[in-house]
Amino acid sequence: MKKIGVLASGRGTNLQSIVKAEERGELAGKVVIVISDRREAYALEYAREKGIKSVYLNPKEFSNREEFDRVMLEQLKNEKVDLVVMAGFMRLLSPLMIEAFPNRIMNIHPALLPAFPGMNGVKQALEYGVKVSGCTVHFVDEGLDTGPIILQEVVPVFPEDTEDTLHERIQTVEHRKYPRAIDLYCRGFLNVEGRRCFIYEPEEQNSAD
């Protein structure tokens, strides 16, 4: 079973969806550590409630991003983490982290990449006037939301939508899609070739979805 380390900065709703999938037996992996850059992040409290190791790292105690990531990397390696999952982690990772976990760091973004990367993806999409939005699960590289795409799903945009209402519907999809992508990785069904991520899984599993 693959060991998963989760990086979170806030409420940790995607963390909760991952742990719940694990508890339902729908995830061939186990969350072994949660790291946050915010002491008050509910993700840390949730991890403690679930008996998962929780670690707070204060960014102000580090002179640069690389020093912060070096300590974070030590924590992940101490737990023998196979896959790093970003769940609302509001910090860019340094090359140190990317090189340590090549194609082994996942992120989820509330837009259909490569459209509307970075902060406020939902707001960007609404302001642009799109008719559909959605979410993207992707591997993390040194760019901003530029890594190979694993899964995507479309969410319709309604005329009356606000940033909050659209984001809420996108999050509902995220909570289903993210555990699915993680499970595919843990089962060895993902293969990255250049910019493309291919999914290989038994036919019987495909037909069951």
Catalytic residues: 109
Phi and psi, residue 22, nearest 5°? -60, -45
Distance CA 121, CA 115 (A): 8
∠ CA(26), CA(137), CA(2), 5° rounding?
A: 45
Per-residue burial over 12-42, b = 16 or more CB atoms within 10 Å of its CB, e = otherwise: bbbbbbbbebbeeeebbbebbbbbbbbeebb
Distance of CA 51 to the CA centre of its chain: 21
Distance CA 174, CA 183 (A): 14
| Nearest-10 crossing angle of helices 13-23, 163-186 | 40
Ramachandran region, residue 204 (left: φ > 0; alpha: ψ -120 to 50; beta: rest): alpha
| Residue 110: both structure tokens together | 């509330």
